Amino acid sequence: MKVLSGIQPTGRPHWGNYFGAIQQYIQLQSEEQSFYFIANLHALTTIRDGDQLRQNSLDTAIDLLALGLDPDQATLFIQSDVPEISELCWLLMAGTPMGLLERCVSYKDKIAKGLPVVTGLFTYPVLQAADILAYDSEVVPVGEDQKQHIEVCRDIAQAFNHAHGETFVLPKPKILDSSAKVPGTDGEKMSKSYGNFIEVFEPVKPMKKKIMRISTDSRPMEDAKEPEGDHLFQLYSLFASEEKKASMASMYRAGGFGYGDVKKAIFEEAEAFFAPARERRLELEANMDRVHQILGDGAAKARVKAAEVLARAKKACGV
């Protein structure tokens, strides 16, 4: 099974990114072939500062490696280091109906909000299709809300195949498990746009401060509380063992505790959970030559496959 996933370098990952996606991406790295790329070409639609984009791309690569992506198992690279993608994008764009792109959610959302829409955002799904099709990807892990992207990719590939003969493998989405809800510091879904997030690599003191400021209700300490649905308990459950979760649930139901006790427990479990990744990240930052080598080797391997698919597509359409 060939797996592909891309991550935009638009900022540092928070707990929601990790448990909602990154952890599950990394669990798939042992498949037959797995490609993971830093989608810096996509990020150009929102990041206009070149130095920032370069640094963000490196930071994202280091974050993935620190969190467990193994370059001996998976191919990690920066999107723009595979120029075949841009050429393939144009071949696909030449036959992609505008109506298909106009129906895409990300474009429609921007229009509805009255935000400026650049051409790159409108044609974003075609570049995304090139990303997927260039490696004969069979499975693309996505959230339920991103399923449309894979459907659009399949439509684009089918249109090309219909016009020029069987050329592209049609990918299938692997819907990520969303059961582990990650509430933010205000109890709502953790999101950068809400400003309620805690970064995976947040320095320890600021992380503790954010956790201790998480909003709670005003029920008295002596009241029994139901753990299910409580956002503090949900956060604790992300990190704690089953035994510790059961003990915390019993404490909730018995009452006689303060939310500060739970917050301290969340901090302790989160700090311990991410400690190995923090240590690996420091080691990687101290050895940037190794990081660049991993990305260079990954791009070289990705280019071999992308060139093969591009040649197949060019021959099919006569260029």
Say what the pLDDT of residue 49 is: 97
Say what the pLDDT of residue 112 is: 82
Averaged over successive runs of 10 residues, the pLDDT of the chain (319 residues) comes to 92 94 90 91 94 97 97 96 98 95 84 82 95 96 87 97 97 83 92 92 96 90 87 95 96 91 97 97 98 98 98 97
> HEC string of 65-127?
HHCCCCCCCCEEEEHHHCCHHHHHHHHHHCCCCHHHHHCCHHHHHHHHCCCCCCHHHHCHHHH
Give the full edge-to-edge strand order of the sheet including 75-78.
Answer: 75-78, 33-38, 2-7, 139-142, 172-175
Q: Which CATH superfamily is domain 192-281 in?
A: Tyrosyl-Transfer RNA Synthetase (1.10.240.10)
Distance CA 310, CA 133 (A): 9
Task: Please report, as a single letter, which amino acid is at residue 49.
Answer: D
The phi and psi torsions of 35 (rounded to 5 degrees) equal: -115, 130
Task: Please report, as a single letter, which amino acid is at residue 25.
Answer: Y
Distance CA 49, CA 307 (A): 30
Name the residues annotated as catalytic: 110, 189, 192
Cβ atoms of 131 and 6 closer than 8 Å: yes
Distance CA 295, CA 77 (A): 5
Tokens representing 293 are: 């080598």
**Residue 296: its H or E element:** helix 288-317
pTM of this prediction? Answer: 0.92
Distance CA 33, CA 223 (A): 53
What ranges do the domains of the chain cover?
Answer: 2-180+288-317, 192-281
The fold for domain 2-180+288-317 equals Rossmann fold (3.40.50)
Distance CA 70, CA 214 (A): 34
Say what the pLDDT of residue 33 is: 87
Say what the pLDDT of residue 105 is: 80
Distance CA 47, CA 54 (A): 10
